[in-house]
Amino acid sequence: MYADLLNALPNVFAWTNFAAVIIGVIAGIVVGAMPGLSATMAISVLVPFTFGLEPLVALGLMAGIYNGAMYGGAIPAVLLRIPGTPAAVATTFDGYPMAQKGEGGFALQVAVVSSALGGIASAFALMLLAPPLSRVTLLFGPSEVFWVAVFGLASIIFLLGGNPIKGLISACFGVFVSVIGSDPIYGNDRFTFGQLEMLDGINIVILLVGLYALPPVIDLLETPLKTDGVNSSKLGTESIWKALPRMKGFGMTWLRGSFIGIWIGILPGAGGSMAAFMSYNEARRTSKTPETWGEGEPEGVAAAEVANNADTASALIPALTLGIPGTAVAAVMLGGLLVHGLQPGPMLFRDNPDIVFGFMWQFLFGAILLVLLGGSLATNSFARLLNLPRPLLGSVIIVLMLIGVYSIHGRMFDVYLMLGFGAIGWVMDRLKFPLPPVVLGLILGGFAEENLRLALRIGRGDPMVLFQNTTSLILVALTIAVIVGPTLKKRFVDGRKKA
Amino acid sequence: MKKTLTALIALGLSATVALADYPEKPVEVIVGYSAGGGTDIMARTVAQFLEQELGDGASVVVKNMPGAGGQIGFTEVATAAPDGYTLGTFNLPAALALTHDREADYDVNSYTYLANFVEDPNTITVAASSPFQTLGELLEAAQADPGAITVGLSSLGGNDHFSANMMQAASGAEFTLVPFKGASNARTAIMGGHVAAGTMTLGQTTSFPDELRVLAVLADERSPFRPDVPTAKELGFDVQMSSLRGIVAPAGMDPALADQLRAALSAVNENPEFQAMMAEQGNPIAFMLGEDFAATAAKQDGVAANIWEETPWK
């Protein structure tokens, strides 16, 4: 198998194949940086055009776009507090405060280096461990996946912010949104008001754009017309080689974030945003100075960005070996493979090793190229764009949002839906309700419901089915540890102080 | 007599004249699913070859209108003008099954059936590590302890579900049906041993020869892809179910235009290059034209209506 890996390498360096990766990364960064445009969309638009292309050219473009977009999402997240992609929500926590302090340039450099490292780690996991890791995926049936969702919800309690009641209300709103649409088992309509467009539920991108992009844009429009860009004039960009030494303390965070990202990637359904949230939380929990987090801690940006790129290639492990995509992007990529007659499954590795392993190499090179392309070229040019007068910038972003949301399914209904969520988001923002719990509630709520109901069906209604195997029990133990751990630790520390 | 003949000829001529102009503008093929899915890829492959067959620089454009399990796209086709400029992909039994379990603005009679391209028969499949070696053993276990055998489906109200239902009716066994989100999730649950068996289509099993054991194919005849697997009929259970993908147009189309399109689609099917592309994409071709296609649709609609009446799934 490793011989196949090496044999696939020369072909990757054919200039067309390599150029495809470069173009893909650049396109991905641009797409990721625009609120509303996501990697999923870019790749699904691309798939039909890849009919006539050589497989590795098509796949190289996709690998590049995927890697680029996961970093591109960080650019507006840092500079404007608008996550360009769902996975970049956690990047806003510390990235935006850094930009406000005039460290936006450094934040973007941390993001690009972390993204590249996460992507590289993930590509190695895909190249070296795909078959054994796919066996891990098989261990996760509905009851295990249900516990993963519960664990995810429990481990991000910190997202509730300073006011837990408001945080819980936000989370409940997210879970409520996850309920909209036809129910996952019987297909009964819930809260659709007879609208066919709502039967499939609320697309995460629509919610995200409305909730996250509209309130800051309204802020931008409210700002009196001044010609100096507030953030970007103080971007503080310096050479990436000068910035690197300042990141030398991030080793553990990068390692942990990569591990979390890879692990979340191989589980079906959760995706980059959950990986970024969990990595951020773990890094903050183990930090010596947790109080600086959320105030512009560069390590927070590193934690979020390393994890959301570390799930890219690993999400393809179950996709390539089992045909189940770990993320929406992986699902579209499967379509891209299908166009070229590449059916996922173990046979793929036997019948088309040059293409599968070539694709994996392209992932690796895509991640490495991020440092070069994202670091200098894209970061600088995007920062210039943000030099525009703020109301003008706001109008440009609104147009991008509308186009992005419209193009998901090609219908105006989604645009109105987005504007509705935008109004809700603006009110929540003004009333200081935290927004991240909404996103997580939507992602994990639906995930938990579907798998709980499947598990109970398998167990013929007996809830004991949820505790019947080792994997489930380990996850239950982890969940309990996450919930009571901090309290116990605090007691222990206090007790020692008294003694 | 002479007059009628002239009139007929004139009519024929005028028809040919009218059709000679077709297509004057791009022909849209509506796909009720997202770009990059199996149906979308079939539509794009057909579109590419249909352009050549229609000739004269004709342009055939695929338009994705995903949502509501394909319903948005199916409705769009059914309510479009039957002028030959709106065609659509049609998935059976899904497209008609959903007219029974929810409100839909179309039914089996809303279409001009042009041609079916793909037919993928359902199967009864277990994991390779499963203790059940034959269909008989599996059904015996399901009869001995009703509900103990869990069967993974891609959804309720689709061909997987109907297969399981028809198998229950034919054998008297009782399964616990577990509808996953999509065929690949169901397949993974079978491979991981989380459910005992599944009814996925044969096409879904082909990439996993060492991981899955196909116990029976729910077709009239053995599949040329797996001649070693018996049909359920051979084993004493007269059950047939499959997933079909074809091209339809809105009902009420000018018969001459419909025939022109059918001829073009037949020519597409006969193109060896097209056959090679479909085979590469893992699509088992079962070409059916006009009447045959319409009859199959009506039959599948009947099955769905029956099952909905006897055991409504929601």
Q: Which domain holds residue B145?
A: 123-217
CB-nearest to B280 from A137, A332, A341 is A341
Question: Are B198 and B296 in the same domain?
Answer: no
What does B213-227 look like in DSSP terms, one character per residue? EEEEE-SSS--TT-T
In a domain, B233, yes or no: no
CA distance B121 to B95: 17
In a domain, B234, yes or no: no
CB-nearest to A268 from B185, B191, B207 is B185
Contacts of A457 in chain B (CB under 8 A): 150, 176-178
Which of B183, B217, B251 lies at the terminal end of a domain, its last residue? B217
> Nearest CA to CA, how far is B191 from chain A (Å)?
7
Half-sphere exposure for B31 (CA within 13 Å, toward CB): 23
Give me the CATH number covering residue B181.
3.40.190.10
Is any Cβ of chain A less than 8 angstroms from the Cβ of B226?
no
In a domain, B224, yes or no: no
Question: Are B102 and B130 in the same domain?
Answer: no
CA distance A7 to A18: 16
Question: Are B252 and B113 in the same domain?
Answer: yes
B77-90: per-residue pLDDT in tens?
999 999 999 999 99
Question: Are B248 and B116 in the same domain?
Answer: yes
Residue A17 has which token pair?
């194949």
3-state secondary structure of B287: strand
Question: In this complex, do B156 and A185 lie within 8 Å of one another by their Cβ atoms?
Answer: yes
pLDDT of residue B15: 46
Closest chain B residue by Cα to residue A411: B65
- ipTM value > 0.85: no
Three state DSSP letters for chain A: CHHHHHHCHHHHCCHHHHHHHHHHHHHHHHHHHCCCCCHHHHHHHHHHHHHHCCHHHHHHHHHHHHHHHHHHCHHHHHHHCCCCCHHHHHHHHHHHHHHHCCCHHHHHHHHHHHHHHHHHHHHHHHHHHHHHHHHHHHHCCHHHHHHHHHHHHHHCHHHHCCCHHHHHHHHHHHHHHHHCEECCCCCCEECCCCCHHHCCCCCHHHHHHHHHHHHHHHHHHHCCCCCCCCCHHHCCCCCHHHHHHHHHHHHHHHHHHHHHHHHHHHCCCCCHHHHHHHHHHHHHHHCCCHHHCCCCCHHHHHHHHHHHHHHHHHCHHHHHHHCCCCCHHHHHHHHHHHHCCCCCCHHHHHHCHHHHHHHHHHHHHHHHHHHHHHHHHHHHHHHHHCCCCHHHHHHHHHHHHHHHHHHHHCCHHHHHHHHHHHHHHHHHHHCCCCCHHHHHHHHHHHHHHHHHHHHHHHCCCCHHHHHCCHHHHHHHHHHHHHHHHHHHHHHHHHHHHHC
Residue B220 has which token pair?
């009239």
CB neighbour list of residue A120: distance below 8 Å, 6 or more residues apart: A364, A367, A368
Domain ranges in chain A are 2-468
pLDDT of residue A176: 93
Task: Specify the amino acid at residue A93.
Answer: F
CA-based R_g, chain A, Å:
22
In chain B, the number of structural domains is 2
CA-nearest of A76, A119, A115 to A95 is A76
Question: Are B176 and B248 in the same domain?
Answer: no
Question: Are B171 and B29 in the same domain?
Answer: no
> Nearest CA to CA, how far is A335 from chain B (Å)?
4
CB-nearest to A47 from B35, B193, B195 is B35
Question: Are B52 and B99 in the same domain?
Answer: yes
Which of B29, B31, B41, B174 to probe the A interface (max A CBs under 10 A)?
B41
Question: In this complex, do B67 and A184 lie within 8 Å of one another by their Cβ atoms?
Answer: no
In a domain, B169, yes or no: yes
Give me the CATH number covering residue B60.
3.40.190.150
Question: Are B9 and B95 in the same domain?
Answer: yes
pLDDT of residue A269: 62
> Nearest CA to CA, how far is B261 from chain A (Å)?
23
CA distance B183 to B6: 57
pLDDT tens, per residue, chain A with 499 residues: 678 888 888 888 888 999 999 999 998 888 888 777 778 878 877 877 777 788 899 999 999 999 888 888 888 888 888 888 888 889 999 998 998 888 888 888 899 999 999 999 999 998 888 877 777 778 888 898 899 888 888 876 666 666 778 888 888 898 999 999 888 888 888 998 888 888 888 888 888 888 888 888 888 787 765 544 454 445 656 666 677 778 888 888 999 999 999 988 887 666 678 888 889 988 888 888 888 888 889 999 999 999 989 988 888 888 888 877 767 788 788 878 877 778 787 778 878 888 888 999 999 999 998 888 876 665 667 666 666 777 788 888 888 888 888 877 778 999 999 999 999 999 998 898 888 888 888 888 888 898 999 999 999 888 988 998 888 999 899 888 877 876 777 777 777 665 5
Question: In this complex, do B44 and A48 lie within 8 Å of one another by their Cβ atoms?
Answer: yes
Which of B103, B184, B191, B225 to probe the A interface (max A CBs under 10 A)?
B184
CA-based R_g, chain B, Å:
21
Put simply, the chain B residues between 234 and 273 with a CB less than 8 A from any chain A CB are none
Question: Are B246 and B289 in the same domain?
Answer: yes
pLDDT of residue A229: 47
- Given a contact cutoff of 8 angstroms between Cβ atoms, the answer to whether B244 and B283 are in contact is no
Which of A41, A183, A185 to probe the B interface (max B CBs under 10 A)?
A185
Residue B308 has which token pair?
């909905």
Question: Are B74 and B148 in the same domain?
Answer: no
In a domain, B187, yes or no: yes
Contacts of A339 in chain B (CB under 8 A): 36, 41, 44, 281
Q: How confident is the model at residue B3 (pLDDT cuts 50, 70, 90)?
A: low
Question: Are B250 and B194 in the same domain?
Answer: no
Mean pLDDT of chain B: 88
Burial (0-12, 13-18, 19+ Cβ within 10 Å), B155: buried
> Nearest CA to CA, how far is B6 from chain A (Å)?
49
CA distance A63 to B51: 31
In a domain, B109, yes or no: yes
Contacts of B43 in chain A (CB under 8 A): none
- Indicate whether B12 pLDDT > 50: no
Question: Are B10 and B98 in the same domain?
Answer: yes
CA distance A188 to B128: 35
pLDDT of residue B267: 94
pLDDT of residue B140: 93
